Amino acid sequence: MTRRPPLQPPPTTEARSPARRITMETVGRMAGVSQVTVSRALSDPSKVSPETLSRIQEAIAATGFVPNALAGALASKKSMLISALVPSITNIVYSGMLATFSAELRARGYQILLSETGFDREDEAATVEAHLSRRPDAMLLTGVHHADRTRRMLLGAGVPVVEVWDITDTPIDLCVGFSHPEAGRAMAEYARAKGYRRAAFITAGDERALRRGAAFAERFAQAGGEGPVPIRGDAPASLAGGRALTAALLDEGFADGDGAIIAASSDVLAEGALIELAARGLAVPGRVAVMGFGDQEMAAALSPTLTTVRVNRDALGRAAAQALLTRIGGAAPERQVIDVGFALVDRESA
C-alpha cells in the first residue's frame, strides 16, 4: 500500500510566487464584518454605519485591497467611467474645458477615460468603437460632424452622449457649444467697424475653423471690405505654422498699403503672425492688425496684447458634465442644445 506523503504547511509569504491575492473576504475578517457588508460599503457607503465603514476602510488601507470595478459594473450595470474624446490633449482650448468637466464628474464618483482623436473622422470612429467596448456610462465628443458609423454605434449603444464645442439642431443626444459661423461673422464685423479694408484668414485647417473662416470672408465682403478674402490653411496649429501662413500672405503683397487685418483660427497662429510681422519690421496694428481665437492665457500678455474671441471653457465643461449627469440619472435635461456663446475681446493688436 502506497503511503501518502505528509501534508506540507503552506509556504511562507516570502516563498509564495505570486503573493496570495487579497480578497473582499479577507477585508471582512479584518474588519469583523461579512463579505456582503464589505461589498455593500464599497457600492454604497450610505448603507453601512459610519463606524463599520471606518473599520472597513482601515482594513482596506492595511491590506492594499483594490476592489474589482468590472465585477461591480456587471452587478450594477454601471462602469462609473465617462469617455471623453478630443482632437488634441495639449491644446488649452480643450484641456481647459476638460479640467472643469472632469472635476464635476469626479465629485460624483466618475472617472474620465480620455483619448486624443485628431481631426480625422475615421480615426474618431475607431476610438469611439474602442471606448464603447469598455462600456462607459456616457461619452463626450468634440464637434457635431462625425462619420456615419460613429452615429450608428452611439445610437445603438444607447449611452448618453454630449457633443461639445459646436451646436446643431440635430445632436446625437445633447450638445453644448457655440456657433462657429456666428463667431466668424462677429470677427468680420469687428474688423470692418475698425475700418480695415482688406482681410485674410489663416487656419490650421480643421473643419470648425474652416467654417469660421468662410463665414468671416462672406460677412467681411458683405460689409464692404475688399475681396476676395484669402483663407490659408493646412499649417500646424503652432507658432511656426502661423509664421509660415503669414509669410506667404506678405510675400504676395498683402501688407501693401494700409488697412489690412489677419484673422487667425487660434491664438497660437495669431502669435505666430505677430512674430513674423515683427521680424519684417511691420508695425501692429499700424501696418497690419491681427486677431486670434480662444483667448488663451498668453493673449493678454503678448506685446501688443491680442484681440481675440473668448469662449467660456469652464462654463462649457460644467454645462456638459451636468447635462450628462442628468441624463445618466434617467431625467431629461432642461435643454438638449446649450449655446454658451462667445465674446470678442478688444485689445491692442487690432
Q: Are 81 and 131 in contact (CB under 8 A)?
A: no
pLDDT at 24: 85
State the Cα angle at 41 between 67 and 43, rounded to 5°: 60
Does the pLDDT at position 316 exceed 50? yes
DSSP 3-state assignment of 314? helix
Q: Whole-model pTM?
A: 0.77
Mean pLDDT, residues 76-95 taken together: 85
Closest CA to 166 of 276, 254, 86, 271: 86
Mean pLDDT, residues 309-325 taken together: 96
Does the pLDDT at position 4 exceed 80? no
pLDDT at 280: 97
Count how many Cα atoms sit within 13 Å of the Cα of residue 218 in the half-sphere of its side chain.
Answer: 11
* Cβ neighbours for 246, distance < 8 A, ≥ 6 positions apart: 202, 262, 272, 273, 276, 277
pLDDT at 21: 63
Closest CA to 143 of 102, 216, 187, 93: 93
Q: Are 308 and 343 in contact (CB under 8 A)?
A: no
pLDDT at 126: 94
Closest CA to 101 of 87, 118, 83, 116: 83
Does the pLDDT at position 51 exceed 80? yes
- What is the chain's mean pLDDT, rounded? 89
**Better pLDDT: 208 or 63:** 208
Does the pLDDT at position 18 exceed 60? no
d(CA 85, CA 127): 8
If phi over 0 gives left and psi between -120 and 50 gives alpha, with beta otherwise, what is residue 208? Answer: alpha
Does the pLDDT at position 117 exceed 70? yes
Place of cell 493678454: 300
Q: Tens of pLDDT along 27-47?
A: 899 999 998 998 888 877 888
